[in-house]
Amino acid sequence: MENNKDFILFLDELSDLKENKESEFIIRENKLIEIQNEINNSNNIFNENEINKKINQYNQQISFFKKDVEEFNLFINENLNYNRTIILKKIAEVAEIISINKNIDIIIESENYFISSENIDISQLIIKEINKNKIIFKIAEE
């Protein structure tokens, strides 16, 4: 996977998306910290009902923030898994073709190296074949 230029481009695109979203999260988190500080510093200014109202609003915003972070993390993981599946299927297809063409009876995946015996490593053949064709990876919509 890490040797496929299309997968690397996909990972770069996903990383850019993640960095942008993390920047948004940092801004939101800083605003929440400001609100928390404001609540902590306003105990003498507001009455108990007003403080409780602000605390409830703050807790609700924290809850929304946590939910958004969890959903985004799930989104990233689902995209990674989906696109890993695409390349693994392609690797399996290419490995099968190579095994037929080279009369190799068994291919075993061993830490992302495809081998048919201790002496034969067809990983480079698979990488070469996979890189010949463009594989389209996609990021699902949020």
pTM: 0.76
| Residue 48 forms part of a structural domain | yes
| Residue 140 forms part of a structural domain | no
Q: Which domain holds residue 81?
A: 5-132
- Residue 63's pLDDT is 98
Residues 6+ apart with CB under 8 A from 115: 107, 108, 121, 122, 123
CA end-to-end span of the chain:
24
| Residue 137 forms part of a structural domain | no
| Residue 16 forms part of a structural domain | yes
| Residue 63 forms part of a structural domain | yes
- Residue 46's pLDDT is 80
Q: List the pLDDT tens digit at each of the 142 positions of the chain.
A: 778 889 999 999 999 999 999 999 999 999 999 999 998 888 778 888 988 999 999 999 999 999 999 999 999 999 999 999 999 889 888 888 888 888 876 656 655 555 555 566 778 888 888 888 888 888 887 6
- Residue 123's pLDDT is 80
| Number of domains comprising the chain | 1
| Residue 107 forms part of a structural domain | yes
| Residue 90 forms part of a structural domain | yes
| Residue 142 forms part of a structural domain | no
